Structure 1
Amino acid sequence: METNHHPKLTSAEMAVLWGAFQNSTVVTCTTTYFLEIVEDDQIRSLLKFSLGLSVEHEELLRGIFKEENLPIPMGFTEQDVNLHADRLYTDLFILSYLSHIGSMGLNTYSMSLPNSSREDIRDYFSKSLNSSIELYNRVTDVMQEKGVYIRPPYIPYHEQVEFVHKQHFISGWIGEQRPLTSTEISFLFNNIQRNVLGIGMLTGFSQVASSREVAKYVTRGVEIAKHHCAVFSKFLDESNILVPMTSDASPTRSKQAPFSDKLIMFHTAAVQAAGMGYYGASIATSARRDLAAAYTRLMAEVGEYTEDGAKLMIENGWMEKPPSAADRKNLANG
């Protein structure tokens, strides 16, 4: 019996490949602009490495789409970036952004790989995962060398193995709460760091957006991120955990737009989607009820914000439709 060694792409593979193309084109646009404004040589080297990866990914993905006779997504092009715009972000922000890109790549590609069946697609995501590891490690080394790497909070080493014997461990609605676990502290810290970076990025977007509606929308995102930072910091403070100082990610005073409103909205949506994923993981690893409830409430706030953003993108014709199942009802009626 003849075996098909090159089956068609599954829906899962189409989804992760389409998403990878969108993300790669965004990274190409942002890093190309950052290369025009960066001043530090070490950060410039990291940007060149990141740009090389995103361009390579685009070329490989275009090849896969062509081989499968699939339309190549629009994504984002040179029309979505103005390389002559004034400096909007500092070198320190760019370095933090690259760290986030590396972390996001680790998260995205590690989820894409198990959703891939074909050997060539698994090979693509395996290599992409490895390149994200290298980018993250390179960026982390530079951040530590420059003294701007923010470590998570320290806690005392435990002296012995302990088991939970009281329901108080999962309580948290009223009365005295137990101290946070190391896992809960880790997620709170990382969620603060991501929101701080988001505040800096969206603040810059709000200054340069061409559309008043887009500027208003991203400004709302800044306020949401500030609120979330306050909530997470309160939990750490209540357990006498020092809230770690964060590097200044504030934008410059520039009003010249380096990015199109379409790219600004997509990037904002991508950040919110990633945040929802991290919050979901935080809920799964937080045993205290009050902490899980806080994450649930904040996820609902992000969900409402994301929905409003999707409506704005649709109204302006900026939302590219991902591969979808056939509309059988419409075909039957046609």
Structure 2
Amino acid sequence: MKLENQSLTSAEITQLWAAYMNDCALECQLQYFWAKVEDEDVKTVVQQGLELAQSHIPKIADLFKKENFPIPYGFKLDEDVDINAPRLYSDHFVLYYLQQGAKTAMQAYGVSLSLVGREDVYHYFSQCHREQDELLKQVNTVLQAKGLYVMFPHLPKPENYDFVKNQSFLTGYFGERRPLAGTEINNLFSNYHRNALGAATLIGFSQVAKNTDVRKFMVRGKEIAQKHCEVFGSILSEDDVPAPTKMEDSVTDATTYTFSDKLMMYYSTGLIALSVGYYGTSMSASPRRDLGTAYNRLLNEILKYAEDGANIMIKHGWMEEPPRALDRDELAKKKG
């Protein structure tokens, strides 16, 4: 029997549900960015990203309809964004935001492709992956043309291959630390850049948030992101490796309603979830023990922050429930 004749699996429905939610939120955000950016080159890539999100939403909705699966409520242009609000972020912030978004989407679509089996769903995620590849290429081209592309550090060329000769390669708590390995530099550099972008994002969110819980949550997140930048930057500086620049100056002084608190909490908790994954990956790819300890400490901090964010969303009725298994105990209670 062909798989397309089978009902959607838990993996397929979950990945489609998450993609639908993300594209609904992204449409709101990119509509606002498109209305505010001034540079025509930036506007072009924003429009490209916006058109992708807009094309995805009805395609996923059609798949849900065929399965008689309820379409998520998601986010609405008339409820979750005011495109007429004053400018909140600079053009170069929008470029970096698009770049990171395209990278994240490519990773998410890659995961989806590894989980799904039905031909129509696989084809959908495969097409989305190709689209994000092209979008990332275009964003990088604009960043490079404007001298804004953030280059990873260079490494010296070794004279020959070599092997690790003793266990000092793993140490880092006491005594002389070995220089950072390439994978460790890449992860520290990337995590710094993502936190710098996250700090700027949360500064803007804190300025336009209306709910007190949300405003305090954004300020706390900004402080966490800035502290993590300091940790990653200090480790890089020990080996005279430059860190990326911060982005706080890319936020204006606007305080007018721009995005709904619900949308901003969705994005903020999404950023935290991504950080958890990135830190876990970085920990596994960092043989130096002091780096693993640092990542573990920072990871515990953002896990607590994530829990607090989830509680805020539940408190205010903003967390849409994802697809889940049947509650057999609840069914038994109903029957009784």
TM-score by length of 2: 0.97
- Please name the residue that 2:269 is paired with: 269
Contact 1:34 1:47 in 2 (8 A): yes
- Please name the residue that 2:160 is paired with: 160
- Please name the residue that 1:210 is paired with: 210
Contact 2:207 2:215 in 1 (8 A): yes
How do residues 129-278 of structure 1 correspond to structure 2 at under 5 angstroms? Answer: 129-246=129-246, 250-278=250-278
Contact 2:192 2:243 in 1 (8 A): no
What is the RMSD of the two structures over their aligned residues, measured on CA atoms?
1.2
Deviation at 1:242? 2.3
- Say if 1:249 and 1:28 are closer, same or farther in 2 by CA, change over 3 A: farther
For residue 218 of structure 2, give the secondary structure of its aligned residue in structure 1.
helix
> Which one-letter code corresponds to 1:294 in the other structure?
A
Contact 1:170 1:288 in 2 (8 A): yes
- Please name the residue that 1:49 is paired with: 48
1:135-194 CA-to-partner distances (Å, cap 9, x unmatched) read 111000100000011101112112211111211111112111100001100011010110
> Which one-letter code corresponds to 2:9 in the other structure?
T
TM-score by length of 1: 0.97
- Say if 1:63 and 1:278 are closer, same or farther in 2 by CA, change over 3 A: same
1:23-63 CA-to-partner distances (Å, cap 9, x unmatched) read 11111000000111110000000011000000111111011
Contact 2:197 2:246 in 1 (8 A): no
- Please name the residue that 1:128 is paired with: 128
- Please name the residue that 2:87 is paired with: 87
Q: Give the aligned length.
A: 333
For residue 5 of structure 2, give the secondary structure of its aligned residue in structure 1.
coil
CA–CA distance in 2 between the matches of 1:248 and 1:316?
29
> Which one-letter code corresponds to 1:48 in the other structure?
Q
Q: Percent identity?
A: 42
> Which one-letter code corresponds to 1:253 in the other structure?
D
> Which one-letter code corresponds to 1:250 in the other structure?
S
CA–CA distance in 1 between the matches of 2:193 and 2:4?
45
Deviation at 1:333? 2.4
- Say if 1:23 and 1:5 are closer, same or farther in 2 by CA, change over 3 A: closer
Q: Which runs of 5+ in 1 are unaligned?
A: none
- Please name the residue that 2:31 is paired with: 32
CA–CA distance in 1 between the matches of 2:294 and 2:161?
29
Runs of 4+ in 1 over 6 A off after TM superposition: none
